[in-house]
């Protein structure tokens, strides 16, 4: 098999950024399995035929916004767009507002999807909004045409990912095939010990439009001995059903929000190769509970839309992160510069890190996350971590927002999903044991669920709306 395997993946990865060079869009024997579901498997040969068939349907345009819900169809559409020399746009959310915003930034773009309507997300529900203009709807039966494995220029702009908006307006991040190709080899090397020479089945709860979902459920099966499930299960029972479709113990690609739901649900899962999680900090207690509950390693991955994945840790047993081979971090006043083989130049990470002599690191919050009151400094992320550690708190966040009706005054607020037995006084007493009194929340809002997006993040606008007087 020519797909990247254990031996190649375990080698040091050198960056590929040469102008004029190219690499295959997909690798492996035509008979290898690239996707599966409850109805069977899809081989690489069938996949290539679908890619060429869909490519023939696409209009001449520079940009395509991929809205496919079925992960296999997303994979086909992504490769078909690349085959046509176009760039895939990855919206920060599949809401109509996010879609319209991305298209407004990119003239002459079109949308491609697998539904008659837009299929926009509203939380985990799907609304049936009219399809946006210039919408290519994939046929129920994908067309197939003969064609060889295409090469893609390393400097080709294959995707533009957008940040989630958790710290403000979503930002655009261009990705070349060199970045994706080299980064995928790094990810394969980081997972190689989980499956050996056998094909690794992957079931993912994260959308493929998100960079983490893109890296772990779209790019891995293109370049490695990996097969991906076509679904994006949400509820614990659906996740368990998708995992049971795998021919051997699969890798579950998920988020802390979904992992907590699985642990608390009592649902029975089949044997797993491992669980990987990202998009939000994973509490150590949750990682340990998941390992005990499901009998496998929980591996947390670290990265961002700007940097892609570049570090890992086994959270149940360690606080520090181990960078991938060839990755070097450089603390700077505004955060941390990430030097990596898959990056053409260093990228700025907003997180502040503390490095040890071996190059491992621990996170110390973000510069924008730091607050100062009465000459004392604290990290909102650290305050939130302490809130989540309180027994009876199922979810929560501590933030600093403008005080309603008080111009220029910013107060510390908390939004919590907690057991009714844990009243506000008890919650504050628990916080007071570890938190300086000046950083205790001045207001606590009890809610049924935080306004997290589909990857578990909290968009800044949604968070501030919780404490707006109009929302009370």
Q: Which of 318, 337, 364 is the last residue in one of the domains?
A: 364
Share of the chain above pLDDT 90, in %: 62
pLDDT at 385: 83
Query: Does residue 315 lie in a domain region?
Result: yes
Are residues 267 and 411 located together in one domain of the fold? no
pTM of the shown model: 0.82
Are residues 199 and 336 located together in one domain of the fold? yes
Are residues 245 and 387 located together in one domain of the fold? no
Q: Which of 364, 383, 410 is the last residue in one of the domains?
A: 364
With contact defined as beta carbons under 8 Å apart, do 444 and 467 qualify? no
The bridge status of strand 200-204 relative to strand 226-229 is: parallel
Query: Does residue 41 lie in a domain region?
Result: yes
Q: Which of 364, 395, 414 is the last residue in one of the domains?
A: 364
pLDDT at 2: 34
Q: How many CB atoms lie within 10 A of CB 65?
A: 26
**CB within 8 Å of 98: residues ≥ 6 apart:** 91, 92, 162, 170
Give φ, ψ of 220 to 5 degrees: -55, -50
Query: Quick one: 97 exposed, middle or buried, by C-beta within 10 A (0-12, 13-18, 19+)?
Result: exposed
User: What digits encode the pLDDT tens for the residues 359-375?
Assistant: 999 988 777 778 888 77
Are residues 250 and 356 located together in one domain of the fold? yes
Are residues 312 and 172 located together in one domain of the fold? yes
Q: What is the mean pLDDT of residues 440-459?
A: 85
Give the pLDDT band (50/70/90) at residue 178.
Answer: very high
Q: Is the pLDDT of residue 405 over 80?
A: no
CATH of the domain at 168: 3.40.50.12780
Query: Does residue 3 lie in a domain region?
Result: no
Are residues 226 and 116 located together in one domain of the fold? yes
Query: Quick one: 144 exposed, middle or buried, by C-beta within 10 A (0-12, 13-18, 19+)?
Result: middle
Are residues 23 and 133 located together in one domain of the fold? yes
Higher pLDDT: 14 or 439? It is 439
For 261-389, strand residue ranges (E) read: 274-277, 298-302, 311-313, 322-323, 328-332, 335-339, 347-349, 351-355, 361-366, 370-373, 376-379
Are residues 78 and 120 located together in one domain of the fold? yes
pLDDT at 408: 53
Q: Which residue range(s) make up the domain with 436?
A: 374-471
Lowest mean pLDDT among 155-164, 203-212, 248-257: 155-164
What is the residue whose two structure tokens read 């795998």?
A: 246
Are residues 342 and 392 located together in one domain of the fold? no
Total of domains in the chain: 2
pLDDT at 469: 45
Q: How many CB atoms lie within 10 A of CB 417?
A: 14
């Amino acid at each position: 098999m020519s797909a990247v395997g254990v031996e190649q993946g375990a080698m040091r990865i050198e960056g590929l950024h040469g102008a004029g060079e190219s690499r295959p869009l997909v690798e492996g024997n035509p008979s290898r399995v690239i996707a599966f579901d409850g109805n069977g498997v899809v081989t690489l040969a069938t996949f290539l035929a679908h890619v060429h068939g869909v490519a023939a349907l696409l209009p001449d345009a520079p940009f395509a916004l991929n809205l496919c819900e079925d992960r296999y169809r997303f994979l086909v559409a992504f490769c078909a767009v690349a085959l046509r020399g176009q760039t895939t746009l990855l919206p920060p959310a599949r809401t109509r507002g996010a879609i319209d915003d991305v298209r407004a930034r990119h003239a002459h773009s079109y949308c491609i999807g697998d539904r008659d309507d837009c299929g926009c997300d509203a939380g985990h529900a799907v609304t049936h909004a009219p399809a946006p203009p210039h919408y290519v709807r994939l046929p129920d039966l994908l067309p197939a045409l003969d064609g060889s494995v295409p090469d893609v220029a390393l400097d080709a702009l294959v995707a533009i990912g957008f940040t989630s908006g958790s710290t403000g307006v979503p930002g655009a991040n261009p990705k070349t095939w060199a970045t994706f190709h080299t980064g995928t080899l790094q990810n394969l090397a980081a997972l190689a010990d989980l499956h050996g020479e056998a094909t690794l089945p992957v079931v993912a709860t994260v959308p493929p439009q998100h960079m983490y979902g893109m890296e772990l459920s779209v790019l891995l099966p293109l370049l490695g001995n990996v097969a991906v499930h076509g679904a994006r299960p949400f509820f614990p029972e659906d996740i368990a059903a998708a995992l049971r479709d795998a021919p051997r113990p699969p890798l579950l690609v998920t988020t802390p929000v979904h992992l907590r739901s699985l642990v608390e649900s009592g649902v029975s899962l089949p044997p797993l190769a491992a669980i990987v999680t990202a998009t939000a900090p994973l509490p150590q207690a949750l990682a340990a509970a998941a390992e005990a509950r499901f009998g496998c390693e929980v591996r947390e991955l670290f990265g961002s839309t700007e940097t892609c994945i570049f570090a890992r840790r086994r959270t149940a047993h360690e606080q520090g992160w181990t960078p991938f081979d060839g990755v070097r971090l450089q603390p700077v006043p505004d955060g941390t510069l990430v030097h990596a083989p898959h990056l053409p130049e260093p990228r700025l990470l907003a997180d502040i890190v503390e490095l040890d002599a071996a190059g491992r690191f621990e996170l110390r919050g973000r510069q924008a996350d730091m607050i100062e009151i009465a000459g004392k400094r604290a990290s909102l992320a650290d305050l939130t971590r302490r809130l989540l550690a309180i027994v009876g708190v199922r979810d929560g966040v501590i933030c600093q927002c403008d005080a309603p009706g008080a111009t220029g005054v910013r107060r510390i607020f908390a939004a919590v999903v907690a057991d009714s037995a844990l009243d506000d006084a008890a919650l504050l007493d628990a916080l007071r044991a570890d938190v300086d009194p000046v950083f205790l929340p001045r207001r606590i809002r009890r809610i049924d669920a935080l306004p997290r997006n589909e990857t578990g993040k909290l968009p800044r606008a949604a968070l501030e709306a919780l404490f707006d007087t109009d929302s009370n």
